[in-house]
Structure 1
Amino acid sequence: MLIQNEDSLEETRLNGEQVFDGVLLKVHRDQVRLPDGKTAVREYITHPGAVVIIAILPDGRVILERQFRYPLRRSFIELPAGKIDPGEAIETCARRELREETGYEAAHWQHVGTLHPCIGYSNERIEAFVARELTYVGHQWDEGEFLEILSLSFDELDAAVSAGEVTDGKSLAALYLARKVLAGGGA
């Protein structure tokens, strides 16, 4: 294990304030005591958490979405994902998001890990799942949500990643977390 029980690198919060309260994100500014006793300012975003789903069709293809992401002003190909609602269990969220965004329900779910995509400026965590034995029941997109649903074989997905056509960090990290499960080697 690489992590010690007592962390000699820990920073201690002295005081802080919320400087922005948005619909999704909250921005905070804290003063912290550093390991050497000096102080510093830390700005960070709090996020409710999310899920990402590697949904595998009966023919072995992976369901992906193409959607416009405003901060980068372009469309991206990514795995289905979505925000965890307050008090919602992570698998419940994964089931809801898969159904809403892609129109599929899955009979078999496996949690494959947790990722932290923005550790330098956010507390966001994303729970990754593999979903199998899919049945199409019809999507239920949220108001203002526009998606194109596509499916790729693993070879096509590998080629798209290599060609720079799939660059979404949560999708790439989730595929890495699931590599043993996807190869048939268990969790």
Structure 2
Amino acid sequence: MPHTEIDLYEKPVSSNRLFEGKIINLRQDEVMLPNGRTVTREVVEHPGAVAVVPITKTGQVVLVRQFRHPVGRIILEVPAGKLDRNEKPEDCALRELAEETGFVANKLHKLTSMYTTPGFSNEVIHLYLAEDLVESDQRPDEDEFIKTEQYTPEQIRQMIRSGEICDAKSLVALCLAGI
């Protein structure tokens, strides 16, 4: 017999903040399961983020190459960044695009919003398509070392197939953008 949606909810019992950081917080929650058992859940709290698929007037896709410490390697990805406090996702998308690539978008289309890892984090990332780009000055944060590169859609598809483009936000955003 199928469960009703209400049968799936976990009821909060208690919550304990374990860590407060610059980007994330970590808490440990105790919840009651639908069957009455109590279990512990660890939750990474994140303010949210954006990712942008920039397409130039000539149809090239702009990507950034940067070292990602948590995975210990250089990753080729769409421009992305964390939302500032009270920042609208659209404003963040335009800001991150300009900072990381030096391009300003005259057209910005929302593709979707998605949870990145709902098993342990509340992070939501908002995905955008940026078009009608105008070149400006790249202004990465002082702790960002980024190389901007441009590829054709066919090159992008090949890099997805080969695994060179391998992070989830980029894969989803590029697919939703029709690349």
Unaligned segments of structure 2, at least 5 residues: none
TM-score, structure 1 as length reference: 0.91
Residue 173 (1) aligns with residue 166 (2)? no
- Provide Cα deviations, 1:167-187, integer angstroms capped at 9, x if missing partner: 0111001123333xx6xxxxx
Task: Provide the residue aligned with 1:126 in structure 2.
Answer: 125
CA distance in 2, matches of 1:175, 1:14: 40
Q: 1:43-82 counterparts in 2 under 5 A?
A: 43-82=42-81
> AA paired with 1:11?
E
- Provide Cα deviations, 1:78-99, integer angstroms capped at 9, x if missing partner: 0000000010011000000000
Contact 1:115 1:173 in 2 (8 A): no
CA distance in 2, matches of 1:41, 1:95: 39
> AA paired with 1:170?
K
State percent identity of aligned pairs.
Answer: 38
- Provide Cα deviations, 1:77-131, integer angstroms capped at 9, x if missing partner: 0000000001001100000000011000010110010111111110001000000
CA distance in 2, matches of 1:151, 1:176: 17
CA distance in 1, matches of 2:7, 2:133: 47
CA distance in 2, matches of 1:135, 1:178: 19
Structure 1 ranges of 4+ moved more than 3 A: none
CA distance in 2, matches of 1:168, 1:84: 19
Task: Provide the residue aligned with 2:146 in structure 1.
Answer: 147
CA distance in 1, matches of 2:98, 2:32: 45
Task: Provide the residue aligned with 2:17 in structure 1.
Answer: 18
Contact 1:43 1:121 in 2 (8 A): yes
- Provide Cα deviations, 1:44-91, integer angstroms capped at 9, x if missing partner: 100000000000001101000000000111100000000000100110
CA distance in 2, matches of 1:118, 1:88: 22
User: How many residue pairs align between the two structures?
Assistant: 176
> AA paired with 1:151?
Q
CA distance in 2, matches of 1:32, 1:16: 9
Unaligned segments of structure 1, at least 5 residues: 183-187
Task: Provide the residue aligned with 2:82 in structure 1.
Answer: 83
Q: 3-state SS of the aligned residue for 2:8?
A: coil
TM-score, structure 2 as length reference: 0.95
Residue 98 (1) aligns with residue 105 (2)? no
> AA paired with 2:71?
L
> AA paired with 1:106?
A
> AA paired with 1:155?
E
